[in-house]
Amino acid sequence: MKIINKKHTSFLIIGLLFILFGCCKNSNTTNEQTIESIVNESLEFSLQQSLKMAVSLKDKNSLLPKTTDRFGNLETCNSSWWVSGFFPGTLWYLYENSNSEEVKNWAIDYTLRVKDQQFTTDNHDVGFMIFCSFGNAYRLTKDQAYLEVILNASNSLSTRFNTTTKTIKSWDSGGPNNNWQYPVIIDNMMNLELLMWSADEFINPDFKNIAITHSNTTLQNHFRKDNSSYHVVSYDTITGKAVIKNSAQGFNNESSWARGQAWGLYGYTLMYRFTKNIEYLKQAENIASFILNHPNFPEDKIPFWDFNAPNIPDTYKDASAGAIMCSALIELSEYTNSVNSAKYLKTAETQIRTLSSSKYRNALGNNANFILKHGVGHLPANTEVDVPLSYADYYFVEALMRYKKLKDF
């Protein structure tokens, strides 16, 4: 063994400390997964988990996954519940990524389970139900049989447009003391994608006019000066004026319900995609600024269920709002200036990392085979609190696919 001179000992110790520090520093970098590997791994996990979900309901021909109860048991819905189109849509995205015939067959199976909703005229959710399922089905297969369903759904949604209020009605009644005469929720912005796409596909300007008119009216009445959004605006059907501004699912009427902010961000981004109207782009950027710069927006970029919820940070986060925001920010990054684009993508990458971690993503086969956990559906009503949600899974997988396409890997 070589003897080390005493005078060199201190230098050796210092050198070892530098090496140790360097190794630790490098290990944090080299061992951290790249965003590309995280996206691919999460897509593969989502594929395996969703196949398990599909098989679990193979003999329940009219049912679709919705959420879980507080014990982790699967809760299902039939086609008439507003979330019915999300699971088939998730399967279509996973088929697009994998080209698996098994996944395609399941996607067809579950898509057909919501076919009867093409004639739904008693709520605005036909866009969610049909375009997430049949819209993705046609996009990927070009099977003409899907087109008739999409056209019928567009006609159904159009029946809810009122020329006096210049909006699409969300619900037929409701509100405190049942005083919502003509309620319109920010969620409606999401269903305009069905109309805008159909306007081009079927050369029907009425669909486009309805969607644009609704967007303009919402832009005028739903947003506060800080660009946060009310959840519900009720209109007077005689004057057409917005007379009541409330929240159904947020903390209170003046709070900023997180998923509502996500719907608005996504909705004006998609409306810019179709119209190239700079006002829609500005509004999407304004909503993004509200979200990203809010003092209660967490470092992991998954929002609390309401930006003004009491007891922050000791309250629930909403993975569904985070997934919707993530998907919207990825698309918005393609339309905005370079500074905003970099900011949006950095946030989206953080959201992907967070949602792909064990903190938010289920283990294979766990939690009734949903992909994500920690969603918040309707906390004021104490329903679907801190549970998986089918739409959280859908927008998470959509975000993964959008990022993968954007980065071309």
Q: Tell me: the pLDDT tens digits for 297-344?
A: 999 999 999 999 999 999 999 999 999 999 999 999 999 999 999 999
Q: Are 175 and 234 in contact (CB under 8 A)?
A: yes
Dihedral sign of CA atoms 312, 261, 95, 84 in order: positive
Longest dimension (CA), the chain: 97
Classify residue 132 as left (phi > 0), alpha (psi -120 to 50) or beta. alpha
Mean pLDDT of 178-187: 94
Which residues lie closer than 8 Å to 261 by C-beta, 6 or more apart?
A: 228, 229, 287, 290, 291, 303, 307, 321, 325
* pLDDT confidence tier of residue 10, bands split at 50, 70 and 90: very low
> Hey, what are 174's tokens?
């409701």
Say what the pLDDT of residue 4 is.
38
Three-class DSSP category at 299: coil
pLDDT at 1: 34
Written as six digits, the tokens of 175 are 């509100």
pLDDT grade for 92, boundaries at 50, 70 and 90: very high
Contact 194, 135 (CB under 8 A): yes
Cβ–Cβ under 8 Å, residues 226 and 290: yes
DSSP string for 91-138: HHHHHHHH--HHHHHHHHHHHHTTGGGGG--SSSTHIIIIIIIIIHHH
Q: At 70, is the pLDDT very low, low, confident or very high (cuts 50, 70, 90)?
A: confident
Q: Give pLDDT tens digits for 147-173.
A: 999 999 999 999 999 999 999 999 997
Number of other residues whose CB lies within 10 A of the CB of residue 335: 17
Which whole number is the average pLDDT over 117-142?
97
Q: Strand pairing partners for 378?
A: 383
Amino acid 178: pLDDT: 82
Distance CA 118, CA 132 (A): 12
The answer to whether 247 touches 231, Cβ cutoff 8 Å, is: yes
Q: Which long-range contacts (CB under 8 A, 24 or more apart) does 341-346 make?
A: 343/292, 344/288, 344/292
User: Hunting for tokens 């210049």 — which residue is that?
Assistant: 166
* Per-position b or e across 288-317, b if 16+ CB within 10 A of its CB: bebbbebeebeebbbbbbbbbbeeeeeebb
Is the confidence at residue 269, as pLDDT, over 90?
yes
- Burial of 51-65, coded b for 16+ CB within 10 Å and e otherwise, reads bebbeebeeeeebbb
Q: Is 129 left (phi over 0), alpha (psi -120 to 50) or beta?
A: alpha
Q: Which bin fits 313, alpha (ψ -120 to 50), beta or left (φ > 0)?
A: alpha
Q: Give the span between the Cα atoms of 131 and 138, in whole angstroms.
A: 9
| Per-residue confidence band for 32, with pLDDT thresholds at 50, 70 and 90 | confident
Between 111 and 1, whose confidence is greater? 111
Res 378: pLDDT: 98
Following DSSP, what letter does each residue of 149-188 receive, concatenated? Answer: HHHHHHHHHHTTEETTTTEE---SS-SGGG--SSEEETTH
Q: Give the pLDDT band (50/70/90) at residue 175.
A: confident
Q: What is the mean pLDDT of residues 93-99?
A: 98
Active-site positions? 125, 187
For 81-110, b where at least 16 C-beta lie within 10 A, e where not — what string? bbbbbbbbbbbbbbbbbeeeeebbebbbeb
Q: Is the pLDDT of residue 257 over 60?
A: yes
